[in-house]
Amino acid sequence: MIQDLFKTPVYKTTLSLDKKTLTSYCLSMAKKDKGRIVSNEGGWQSNDLKDNHSILNDLIFLIQEHCSLYTKELDIKSFNKVNNIWININGYKDYNQIHCHPKSLISGVYYVQTPEDCGNIYFQHPSYNNFQYDWKAEKTNNFNSYNSVEWWMPSSAGLLYLFPSWLNHCVKPNLNKKEKRISISFNLL
């Protein structure tokens, strides 16, 4: 019998929000804010959105509501309050390199616009270095959640992901030459 130890929980749900309005908002913010470079290679990442951005109120409410369900299932204490939030816009060949979100409890992303071939989100196994050394791909019959060094999930408009802030993740390059991938990322305490 196998008993699972040290599971890595990733929460996934679809939100019914006005993605067209959110897309326009994100693109307008890119014109107002020089942005920053954190994990993004190319593309644009906003600075933390600190002022009142009422257009995000419904999204923030739903993030906090789903985080409450998530942390309850994990049996961990959390304020389930969005601590910071920002926008990511990735054009052709832009991507987000592997990173985690220190000084937070839960992190997540909401996908606003995801054209075809825009790149999926990848999560890296917490024991990635050991896996790479000992559990080589040629020793694996079929990849599954026990023997994979990384696991991808689709970047699809309307999807919300929540995950432990310590979990390394990246988003592969947007290979759509005409349309941008737009997402909103956040951290919760």
Per-residue pLDDT of 55-75, as tens digits, reads 999 999 999 999 999 999 999
180 burial class (0-12, 13-18, 19+ CB within 10 angstroms)? buried
Q: What is the pTM of this model?
A: 0.94
Per-residue pLDDT of 115-152, as tens digits, reads 999 999 999 988 888 777 777 667 778 888 888 888 99
Is residue 41 a contact partner of residue 96, using CB atoms and an 8 Å limit?
yes
Domains of the chain, residue spans? 11-137+148-188
CATH number at 11-137+148-188: 2.60.120.620
